[in-house]
Amino acid sequence: MSVHPTAIVDPTASLAASVEVGPYAIVGAHVSIGARTTVGANAIVQGPATFGEDNTIHPHAALGGPPQDLKYKGEPTELVVGNRNVFREFMTAHRGTMGGHKRTVIGDDNFFMAYSHVAHDCVVGNRTVFANGASLAGHCSVEDDVILGGYVVVRQFLTIGRHAYVGGFTPVNRNVLPFVWTSSERETKAWKVNAVGLSRKGFSPEAVAALQKAYRAMHRYRHDRAAMLAALDELAATSPEVRYMVDFVRAAKEGVHGA
């Protein structure tokens, strides 16, 4: 273990032997940090919090702090982080609340750029990218392989479907469709299936074509929900990706952008 002489590590913290803690960093009480993780200069990690292996916490990041919730009264909630995540400068992630899951959860292989924010009781999946300033309000769910552009803001209790791409400066006040590029001009709406991004992630041309057909059907029947779902169900019979999209639309109580 390498801890800079100016760093402060609470006696109750548990650090793997290969952890590095930089100058003036603070690791607080009841924090567990896994192997080969680095905590940069002036970073603050508070607990209760658990970090897996190979995470990189850059200078001035602040992780595991208390939730920004007026109902929070100091209860022992937590932040749980997986492996191989990158937290860039001034990124913040807060613990859960008793009224939520009691924990905030971040999976594996995520990249959080500077000033991005994960609020209390959120669940972030794997391989996501939060560009600079992208922010989640409390109780949100971000599924696998999502990309949030710069300064995207997401309202409480919403879900961003897997492989979604949300363009920069988009205000998100409904659930966001999986596999689709969503962004705003004067209003926020889904624009097209993210064909290039899906191809780069290994989706077959047939899978992308099925999603494009499904999205055209959603647009065609956008004023007739029953007809839209019937058309999507027909396409879903031969496409697991479309089946997932249909299930997502049915489960989205707050509606979805573009449907």
pLDDT at 221: 86
Residue 108 lies in a domain: yes
Contact between 130 and 116 (Cβ < 8 Å): yes
Angle at 23 between CA 112 and CA 37, to 5 degrees: 45
Q: Kindly state whether residues 125 and 69 are assigned to the same domain.
A: yes
In a domain, 48, yes or no: yes
Tell me: do 121 and 46 sit in the same domain: yes
pTM value is: 0.89
Structure tokens that stand for 216 in this block: 């055209």
Question: Cα separation of 63 and 57, whole Å?
Answer: 9
Asked whether residue 33 falls in the same domain as residue 103, the answer is: yes
pLDDT of 230 reads 93
- Give the span between the Cα atoms of 196 and 251, in whole angstroms: 27
Catalogue the active-site residues: 120-121, 138
φ and ψ of 245, to 5 deg? -65, -45
Model pLDDT, residue 223 = 86
144 and 202 within one domain: no
Task: Kindly state whether residue 164 falls inside one of the protein's structural domains.
Answer: no
Tokens of 153: 């803001």
d(CA 15, CA 45) in angstroms, rounded, equals 12
Taking 70 as the pLDDT cut, the residues of the chain under it are 186-187, 258-259
Q: pLDDT tens digits, residue range 211-236?
A: 999 999 988 888 888 898 999 999 99
Q: 241 with 159: CB under 8 angstroms?
A: no
| Contact of 239 with 215, CB cutoff 8 Å | no
Q: Are 150 and 47 in the same domain?
A: yes
Domains contained in the chain, number = 2
pLDDT attached to residue 196: 92
Q: Which domain holds residue 212?
A: 198-251
Decide if 14 is inside a domain. Answer: yes
Residue 172 lies in a domain: no
Which pLDDT does position 259 carry in this prediction?
A: 56
Tell me the three-class secondary structure of 132-145, residue by residue. Answer: CCCEECCCCEECCC
Alpha helices in the chain, H assignment, sequence order: 195-200, 205-220, 225-236, 240-251
